[in-house]
Amino acid sequence: MEPKIDHIGIAVNSIEEAFKLYRDLLHIEKSTEEILEDRGIKVTFLYIKDVRIELMEPMREDSEISNFLKKRGEGFHHIAFQVDNIKMVLENAKKMGYKTLSDEPNRGAGGSLVFFLHPKSANGILTEFVEYQK
């Protein structure tokens, strides 16, 4: 499989409040919400044709999304690319000198494995790589 854009992540204070825009203007539904306890966030995905939008809400004060919202407010958080072999992509990124936010893939939504490149290594954009378990 060739890499593809998997989703666009948006940090929000409240999924319910943010979802109203998409429901009212675009008449779309959201997927079920998922709580990622280890990361302290709640997520849901919106499906618009071939594009998925991930809304992320903090569940505790020390979560990555809570910290993001304190610094920047609601808005664009990251872009995610789907890959076949996340461990290989992560190792290649580290060998090439890209700064990653973890040394190993972490659990993501839907049972996926994920890792992020630091924005300073990716033209100012937090970049996520995702592998779905088969």
Residues 26, 128, 86, CA angle at the centre, nearest 5°?
A: 125
The model's pLDDT over 70-87, given as tens digits with 9 standing for 90+, comes to 999 999 999 999 999 999
pTM over 0.85: yes
DSSP collapsed to 3 states, 68-102: HHHHHCCEEEEEEEECCCHHHHHHHHHHCCCCECC
Residues linked to residue 9 through DSSP beta bridges, in sequence order? 54, 78
Which band of pLDDT confidence, cut at 50, 70 and 90, is reported for residue 6?
very high
pLDDT in tens, 90-132: 999 999 999 999 999 999 998 999 999 999 999 999 999 999 9
Q: How far apart are CA 70 and CA 91, in angstroms?
A: 32
pLDDT in tens, 7-55: 999 999 999 999 999 999 999 988 889 999 999 999 999 998 888 999 9
Q: What is the C-alpha to C-alpha distance for residues 35 and 44, in angstroms, rounded to an integer?
A: 9
Residue of 66, 125, 126, 121 lying closest to 97 (CA atoms): 121
Query: What's the DSSP call for residue 115?
Result: E
Domains of the chain in start order, with CATH, are 4-131 (3.10.180.10)
Rounded Cα gap, residues 75 and 68, in angstroms = 9
Which two structure tokens, joined as six digits, stand for 114?
Answer: 């994920």
Helix, strand or coil, per DSSP, at residue 25: helix
